[in-house]
Structure 1
Amino acid sequence: MTGQLVGLVRTPLNITYILSVSSHREHTGTDRYCFIFADPLKMATDHQNPASKQQQPGASAFKLVIYEQENFQGHCQELTAACNNLQEAGVEKVGSILVLCGPWVGYEQPECKGEQYVFEKGEYPRWDSWTNSRRSDTIAAFRPVKVDSQEHKIVLYENPSFAGKKIEIIDDDVPSFHAHGYQEKVSSVRVQSGTWVGYQYPGYRGYQYLFEKGEYKDSAEFGAQIPQIQSVRRIRDMQWHQRGAFHPIN
């Protein structure tokens, strides 16, 4: 299967949708084409565009397209479910990614191990658009991330087993713990609701750590080599805009 970027559609609201076309040859010798819009809502509402009728919305709650080369060029592969080893699925290299329905998390190593990369709906034309840790440009596995709550609450603790100083965050994104009087050491985490991503450095930079509902008794359980998190944000449906608050607690 091959794919290439063939156009941009810009709406009166100045929102850009990417149109991609992919093709593969059937056993009968004929070519089959599939048109993909970056926004499923566009496909459902734009009845005047014949291409938008090629794919019905809601077919899958999760969908992304992996391109072998940067800027959505070269061989492409569509995923709608977890893939623990991309090479075994025929993906030799990840050069760019188009997330149609998400979110997703990618992993540096097969079997969902190593550095994590969180992807929400949108376009990622090259590797430095999904990470700035600079350690690796490799993605070897993907899995979808379920977001099933409009409410978000997370508590981060200084020491393992939920001990020491803590910071409680409710329905808010925090770009810098230091700006609010909390140090950088985070050794355990309780996620009471929602789905979150923590970052090694302020401003949502450095290694990423996905936090789903549950308990993480030490930093190894959320994939960190050192217990350091300095910013955190919610993974959420973009239609939710709740005003939140966070509370440093001694």
Structure 2
Amino acid sequence: MTMGKIIFYEDKNFQGRSYETSNDCAEVTSYLSRCNSCRVESGCFMVYERPNFMGHQMMVRRGEYPDNQRLMGMTMSDCIRSCRNIPSYRGQFRMRMYERENFGGQMHELMDDCDSIQDRYRMSDCQSCNVMEGHWLMYEQPHFRGRQMYVRPGEYRNLREMGNSSMNRFMSVRRITDSCESRTRLMEVYLFTELFPISLRFLYSPGLAYICLPLKWGCSYMSQWPSITLQDWQSDMRQITFYEENNFQGRCYECSTDCADLLSYFSRCNSARVESGAWVLYEKPNYKGYQYILSPGEYTDNQQWMGFNDSVKSCRAIKNVYGNVWKLRLYERPDFGGRMVEWAEDCPSVYEAFKFREVYSCMVTHGAWAFYELPNYRGRQYFLERGEYPRHTDWSAASAAVGSFRRITEF
């Protein structure tokens, strides 16, 4: 079983005291007085408005959630009071849904997603269920809209046992698949040696590939081949879906590569779901205008990526930056002049750390970075990959103001 990790923060934008966990927690406020933001480092979690896994629920995938109210998609208290880790699961899915409480009335067995219980089964109400296999999300409205309820294997005689006494029914159901984590994939490639061509299969997860050799090649020189990093073969692991309306509604477009002009696919963008990879969204075509950097996760409205408007006209996948080293150099003057500082960590306030109010040039030697116009990762964003930037205009900034910066670590 793969365990995830989530970090809760007392204040918005990942400020204040924090609490980190990889397990179910029935009372988060035993550790924090309040919770206004969270960051999911790995895995999937269900977060709850009340202790003991009760109240409004929301599933969160790997990503950053700077404001709980926008996360939940509704006005609610500033507290996440409990959470559940959703374990990785790759088996079969099976559940039975009942029209009435205590497993009464019509019964239908379900093994896949159902976007409308009414349309498929002619059931106008669904009040209890028996989950035999897999982990599921129940939705208050058809087409996976409205409030959510998480159910794992077990018997639920009424909606209260599912953790939400304020809901009176659920009308659509979705499996929680292994898409919460980047999937292990199988790739076949061909290597040509001096002796003969070799067909190898690579079983890989983000960052590493493992060579799977036929048994007859189990000789000593083959056993010395190391695991290898993936930089050129990971393009098919990147996927983002854009939606015209909030909460993943309206026309949508799924993208897995750079796109210089998205206007032909949708007219506006108010929510997005990043299944894998990290992305830079641009306000204008040809990678111009405001920039927004998104790591894997669900963004129910454009304010979650600090959008200035609903315009997303081009996008670029962040690639070829895998590794565990980040390093850059900041310069006080253009063309790498003036005072220089070298840094390898996130920096919430450039002025407090270096007494710089402006950065006129920069050199990125390792990793990928996000610059922010204001402290605490706020304001306009700018993506910088490895390379030299003699002037601030080289990273598309209108001014040299850099209030904070952070490493891009989520892929």
TM-score range, shorter chain: 0.7 to 0.9
1:177 offset after TM fit, Å?
Answer: 1.4
Using structure 1 for the length normalisation, give the TM-score: 0.73
Residue type at the aligned position of 1:69: E
| Stretches of structure 1 lacking an aligned partner (at least 5 in a row) | 1-10, 18-36, 239-250
Q: Helix, strand or coil for the counterpart of 2:303?
A: helix
Corresponding residue number in structure 2 for 1:155: 329
Q: Which of 1 and 2 has higher RCO (CA within 8 Å, sep 6+)?
A: 1
Match 1:74 to one of 250, 266, 271:
250
Alpha carbons of 1:53 and 1:61: their partners in 2 closer, same or farther (altered >3 Å)? closer
Where do residues 119-198 of structure 1 align in structure 2 (5 Å cutoff)?
Answer: 119-131=294-306, 134=308, 136-146=309-319, 147-170=321-344, 172-198=345-371
| Stretches of structure 2 lacking an aligned partner (at least 5 in a row) | 1-21, 26-43, 47-59, 63-85, 94-110, 112-174, 186-235
Residue type at the aligned position of 2:90: D
Identity across matched positions, percent:
31
Q: CA deviation digits over 1:21-45, x for unaligned, max 9?
A: xxxxxxxxxxxxxxxx967xx8974
Aligned counterparts of 1:13 and 1:156: Cα–Cα separation in 2:
42
Aligned counterparts of 2:282 and 2:310: Cα–Cα separation in 1:
10
Aligned counterparts of 2:301 and 2:311: Cα–Cα separation in 1:
11
1:57 offset after TM fit, Å?
Answer: 3.1
Aligned residues: 204
Aligned counterparts of 1:198 and 1:119: Cα–Cα separation in 2:
13
Q: Is the 8 A contact 1:84 1:112 kept in 2?
A: yes
Aligned counterparts of 1:12 and 1:47: Cα–Cα separation in 2:
21
Q: CA deviation digits over 1:167-207, x for unaligned, max 9?
A: 2111x111001222421210111000011001011000111
1:48 offset after TM fit, Å?
Answer: 4.0
Aligned counterparts of 1:201 and 1:237: Cα–Cα separation in 2:
22
Corresponding residue number in structure 1 for 2:406: 233
Aligned counterparts of 1:12 and 1:181: Cα–Cα separation in 2:
38
Residue type at the aligned position of 1:200: E
Alpha carbons of 1:94 and 1:43: their partners in 2 closer, same or farther (altered >3 Å)? farther
Corresponding residue number in structure 1 for 2:221: none
Q: Is the 8 A contact 2:296 2:410 kept in 1?
A: no
Aligned counterparts of 1:130 and 1:57: Cα–Cα separation in 2:
25
Where do residues 1-250 of structure 1 align in structure 2 (5 Å cutoff)?
Answer: 13=24, 15-16=44-45, 45-49=89-93, 51=175, 52=177, 57=183, 60-88=236-264, 90-131=265-306, 134=308, 136-146=309-319, 147-170=321-344, 172-237=345-410
Aligned counterparts of 2:335 and 2:24: Cα–Cα separation in 1:
48
1:223 offset after TM fit, Å?
Answer: 0.5
Residue type at the aligned position of 1:78: E
Corresponding residue number in structure 2 for 1:246: none
1:158 offset after TM fit, Å?
Answer: 1.2
Structure (1 or 2) with the larger CA radius of gyration: 2
Alpha carbons of 1:217 and 1:83: their partners in 2 closer, same or farther (altered >3 Å)? same
Q: Is the 8 A contact 1:66 1:96 kept in 2?
A: yes
1:12 offset after TM fit, Å?
Answer: 6.0
Counting helix residues as a fraction of each chain, which structure ranks higher? 2
Q: Is the 8 A contact 1:100 1:121 kept in 2?
A: yes
Q: Is the 8 A contact 2:383 2:395 kept in 1?
A: yes
Alpha carbons of 1:189 and 1:46: their partners in 2 closer, same or farther (altered >3 Å)? same
Aligned counterparts of 2:248 and 2:24: Cα–Cα separation in 1:
24
Q: Is the 8 A contact 1:38 1:100 kept in 2?
A: no
